[in-house]
Chain A
């Protein structure tokens, strides 16, 4: 359905010889194609705009290497810049901060993004790869059977869940989780929250209250990897309101182009920590900027 960037650019540069350097006009023409490619990959418009501008500055005047066509050269510049942005300057992108036990991890995001599933996947990882004792608590008092869903996943992966008490407010459940985690000698406690719209003032206030009683070591925004232009709103609103420490992109096992990765990184400045690659409890991997860059560009 989508042409990849190399194909697009090969047409644009047919007229050029592979001599000399990239002129401002050459680069401009090429970057129009880059912009379309990014938008078709679901990169949010303002992010695509800024990105193209940055590449324009880097590419103009660059000497064209003999061994590649100008088109290939622009693709390389675009790809490298994409990796740069996706990587960011954060060093500690991989591991979650789980020192000072019990370390709270707060999971937030829109409805149906994959928070509950990802909570369990991360718990399993922390347990198996880092030998941590983890407690999971569902603070979702709205979605039918949400608490039960986390409980079942806990049983599947052999991780404890906080006993369900009906009628408690999310902040009170969080307090109870904190208490139980301290008394029970857990290393980490994970707080799965209900899905919420970023413009839902009441529910955003609710999760602020949860944050304030637990002071999370990590606040992870779980985002559907198939997200389109709305990614900027989600990133901006959740980050402004709650303050996130990282992003997890789910459903990257689909055939979406994953432009939301760039939007998330650019808007929040926070690292993408993991990508979800399926429904099974092992279907999660560390984020690799290289792979996502290629995917966004359709390469």
Chain B
């Protein structure tokens, strides 16, 4: 394409492109400035510029792109947390299927004892993944279910125990306390558990994702992130701010509603998609 001088006006356009991916004003300015360093006044085509931006973003994301770690310890306990509707239950189904395919024995605990039909939803996913789902009656204490699930997973010699939790907004102190109680109870059975605490973020979420990570990190010691719904029009640019501020590993991304729609987080692909450079 035609080349243009990299000037203030163009930088502003690039900033806006990043802002429209949910990267936030501050991070967008920083990324654009880093790309422009030493290049101001040069003549570049818009594709070249986007490629440079993508490379800068991939550089930031490289260190956080790590698959969920698997440990020797069994059962390895994976606690899945996040705000309402972000995709926790679906992601558990997808992960369970992947772990099964990798030859692991998996057990799921239906820790959302609150929402209507949350248990039935997870049972369907358990069936699809070929994994047993431990349940408790609606309205019962999720911490006591988690305790029972720990016992059963230990007795049955399962490799992995995945615990689903009810959606909770991070500003709800009572619900966040309920989560810390679940963790305390799990630790009675195994002080090193949970071995992974996955925070599931919805790609359509804007800047509030920063508050979510902040609060869940403080109260539930999040060990990694999964971002769902990246198959839609939302770009998930907030992940760049998150990588910048928190450096938490991003384990996987959700790219659909089917069982195989969970992909590893690839910094280059992500950056390319963010800049609209696919194909």
Interface residues of A (CB under 8 A from B): 1-2, 36, 39-42, 44-45, 110-114, 142-146, 148-153, 156, 197-199, 224, 226-230, 233-234, 237, 251, 253-257, 259-260, 279
Interchain residue pairs with CB less than 8 A apart (21):
A2-B207, A39-B19, A40-B207, A45-B19, A142-B257, A146-B121, A149-B121, A156-B116, A226-B202, A226-B205, A228-B208, A228-B234, A229-B20, A229-B206, A234-B233, A253-B172, A254-B83, A255-B170, A255-B171, A256-B208, A279-B84
Report Cα–Cα, A144/B89, bound state, in Å: 10
Min C-beta distance of B267 to chain A, whole Å? 21
Min C-beta distance of A120 to chain B, whole Å? 8
Report Cα–Cα, A45/B17, bound state, in Å: 9
- Does any Cβ of A come within 8 Å of B238's Cβ? yes
Min C-beta distance of B82 to chain A, whole Å? 11
Min C-beta distance of B78 to chain A, whole Å? 20
Known contacts A197-B232, A255-B171; is-contact A144 B120 (Cβ 8 Å): yes
Residues of B within 8 A of A149 (CB): 115-117, 120-121
Residues of B within 8 A of A198 (CB): 232-233
Residues of B within 8 A of A237 (CB): 233
Min C-beta distance of A14 to chain B, whole Å? 22
In contact, A197 and B202 (Cβ under 8 angstroms): no
- What is the chain A residue whose CB lies nearest that of B86? A112
Partner of B208, one of A150, A152, A226: A226
- Does any Cβ of A come within 8 Å of B24's Cβ? yes
Q: Which residues 137-174 in B have Cβ within 8 Å of A in the complex?
A: 167, 169-172
B interface, over-half SS: loop
Residues of B within 8 A of A260 (CB): 206
Q: A224-B204, A228-B207, A253-B171 are in contact. List 11 more A-B contacts (CB 8 A).
A: A39-B19, A42-B206, A226-B202, A227-B205, A228-B208, A251-B84, A251-B169, A254-B169, A254-B208, A257-B207, A279-B84
Report Cα–Cα, A146/B90, bound state, in Å: 13
Residues of B within 8 A of A234 (CB): 204, 233
- What is the chain B residue whose CB lies nearest that of A152? B116
In contact, A145 and B121 (Cβ under 8 angstroms): yes
Residues of B within 8 A of A259 (CB): 206
Report Cα–Cα, A146/B116, bound state, in Å: 9
Partner of A145, one of B120, B204, B205, B206: B120
Partner of A39, one of B21, B25, B170: B25
